[in-house]
Amino acid sequence: MKLLTLGLNHLTAPVEIRERLAFPEIDQPKALYQLTEEYGLHEAAILSTCNRSELYIAAKEGHGIEQAQQFLVDTRNIDINKLGHHFYTLEDHDAATHLFRVACGIESLVLGESQILNQVRSTLETAQRNGSTRLLLNELFQRSLRTGKRARNETNIGKGHLSISTAAVELAGQVFDNLSDCQAALIGAGEMAELTAKYLAEANIASLVIANRTIARANELARLYKGQGIALSKLSTNLTEMDIIIASTASNNFIITFDMIKSSMELRRGRPILLIDISVPRNIDPKIRNIDNVFLFDIDDLKQVVESHKKNREQEIERVQVIIEDELRDFLSWYNALGTGTLIKDLHNKSDRLREIELARWTSKLNQLEPHEKDLIERILKAYANKLLHDPLVQIRKFANEEDGLIRLDTVRKLFNVEKPTPPRDS
């Protein structure tokens, strides 16, 4: 069984490509079913955030990447030949290393940000609920979560409040001299919106409106930060008063359109407005940039703000890498040992067959014994065979992690005269 990753992120693809490959949580159950049941993958999990869309796969040797690519072609209507250069494909050691780095936050746009750890956990939980992960991906994701926790507990990689949300608020502070004179609106009431509301409140924003499809959630968040909750349908009537609008929802459509801003700007009499779209897919129509006195930034535009804060955290990467290598060594030892499972099973099967053959040869003699005596002999033979195999099986598991392990395992097969399984032919 091979461990594979097919994905793209903020380093390989711009937001307009990433949003086409986004998998909101509501879409993931169907996608996971398709990957495992329709495209023949043994296990699958989808990590989809504003910075990345990645498929984690367990598949038979020579199988997996082509099927995953075809899944994206079929479900996301993309031309893989044109967009292929945005993707990376990783196998086994590289795939595991990548996820461990992601969980530690050193592959994020905001170095060391903590939200990614919750997103990795959510990816695992969603896949488990939908039955698309089994032994391999469950172990991989559990170990990546442990690695991410260690990185944050044992280093300063997550020290401070640097995040997409803080970058958005800092950008607003660069555009407006004094946020305490500004009125802001948040679109969405999820985890990222809540963080943004917190930092806006800490920046002494004059007033805060939170617009959400679920008014109860908008009111709940507004109460925490002395704001006002409104239904998303009421947003357009509030735009004229807003100086700052920050959008972060899972919507696949534009929530703020060109016409909405065009109309509100006619009433604002030239007063500038700042819009920050930290959603993927984007929530704000990028054509809005063409309107006078409108300043629109998307998540990729936040890179400059983030870069200015990276130096302190970059010093921690080396310490994080030591943790990753430690955890990776344990995972790969476990993973490599999985490959010995077939050989171990074959040896046990051969031992059982030989025992049955010998018992059959002595059937006439054994039938003269009492049932409990016959049972005792069978148990003695089985115990003897298990003890005889114990040391070879211990060595087999060790061979799996040695440089010439494949040669040694093949030698074991020859010594015990156990044939290699023949790979199934494609139909």
> Please, what is the Cα angle at 243 between 240 and 244, to 5 degrees?
120
For residues 296 and 284, the answer to whether their CB atoms sit within 8 Å is: yes
* CA 389 and chain centroid, separation: 40
Which among 21, 22, 47, 50 is annotated as catalytic?
A: 50
Phi, psi of 142 (to 5 degrees): -60, -40
245 strand-pairing partners: 185, 275
CA–CA separation, 365 and 385 (whole Å): 21
What one-letter code names the amino acid at 64? Answer: G
Three-state secondary-structure class, residue 357: helix
Three-state secondary-structure class, residue 324: helix
For residues 151 and 313, the answer to whether their CB atoms sit within 8 Å is: no
DSSP for residue 37: I
CA–CA separation, 333 and 285 (whole Å): 49
CA–CA separation, 221 and 188 (whole Å): 10
Q: Which of 102, 179, 239 is nearest to 247 (CA)?
A: 239
Three-state secondary-structure class, residue 318: helix
What one-letter code names the amino acid at 105? Answer: G
For 400, other C-beta atoms within 10 Å of its C-beta total 22
Going by C-beta distance under 8 Å and a sequence separation of 6 or more, which residues neighbour residue 415? none
Look up residue 18 and give its two tokens. 């990433």
Active-site residue 104, yes or no? no
Catalytic residue ranges: 50
